[in-house]
Amino acid sequence: MPELPEVEVVRAGLERWIVGRRVAGVEVLHPRAIRRHQAGAGDFAARVEGRRIVSAARRGKYLWLPLATRREQPETAIVGHLGMSGQLLVLPPDAPDGPHLRVRFRFENGGRELRFVDQRTFGGLAVADLVGDPAGGRVPVPVVHIGRDPLDPAFDDEAFVRRVRSKDSEVKRILLDQTVASGIGNIYADEALWRIGIHGSRPGRRLSRAQVLDLLESVRAVMGEALAQGGTSFDALYVNVNGESGYFERSLNAYGQEGEPCARCGTPIRRIAFMNRSSYFCPSCQRAPRGRPTGRR
Residue placing its CB nearer to DNA in the complex, 8 or 170: 170
How far apart (Å, rounded) are the C-alpha atoms in residues 195 and 177? 20
C-beta closer to DNA: residue 23 or 123: 123
Q: Which of 2, 5, 150, 203 is catalytic?
A: 2
For residue 258, the Cα-to-chain-centroid distance in whole angstroms is 24
Residue of 277, 290, 292, 297 marked active site: 277
Residue closer to DNA by CB (options 23, 88) is 88
- Pick the catalytic residue: 3, 6, 8, 113? 3
The β-bridge partners of 245 are 239
SS3 at position 23:
strand
Contacts with DNA, residue ranges (CB under 7 A): 1, 3, 32, 36, 60-62, 81, 83-84, 99-100, 119-122, 142, 145, 166-170, 173, 176, 178, 185-187, 255, 271, 275-278, 293
Distance CA(84)–CA(101), nearest Å, equals: 15
Q: Can 191 be counted among the known catalytic residues? A: no
* d(C-alpha 33, C-alpha 81), whole Å: 10
Q: Which is nearer to DNA, 108 or 258 (CB)?
A: 258
Smallest gap from Cβ 35 to DNA, in A, equals 8
Q: Which long-range contacts (CB under 8 A, 24 or more apart) does 176-180 make?
A: 176/275, 178/60, 178/61, 178/146, 178/147, 179/145, 179/146, 179/147, 180/147
Strand blocks (E) in the chain: 23-28, 57-59, 62-66, 76-81, 86-91, 101-107, 113-118, 124-132, 138-140, 270-274, 277-281
Residue 3 is a catalytic residue: yes
Among candidates 183, 178, 176, 180, which has minimal Cα distance to 164? Answer: 180
Distance of CA 271 to the CA centre of its chain: 23
Q: How far is the CB of 3 from DNA (least distance, A)?
A: 6
Residue among 11, 58, 61, 202 flagged as catalytic: 61
Cα separation, 115 vs 101, in Å, equals: 7
Tell the smallest beta-carbon distance from residue 68 to DNA (Å).
Answer: 26
**Min dist. Cβ of residue 115 to DNA (A):** 16
**Alpha-carbon span 58 to 36, nearest angstrom:** 18
Q: Is 209 a catalytic residue?
A: no
Count of Cβ atoms closer than 10 Å to residue 119 Cβ: 16
Q: Report yes or no: 254 and 269 within 8 Å, Cβ to Cβ.
A: yes
Is 96 part of the annotated catalytic residue set? no
Q: Based on CB atoms, which residue is closest to DNA, 21 or 211?
A: 211
Identify which of residues 70 and 145 has a Cβ nearer to DNA in the complex.
145
CB of 72 to DNA, least distance (A): 29
By annotation, the residues acting in catalysis are 2-3, 61, 277
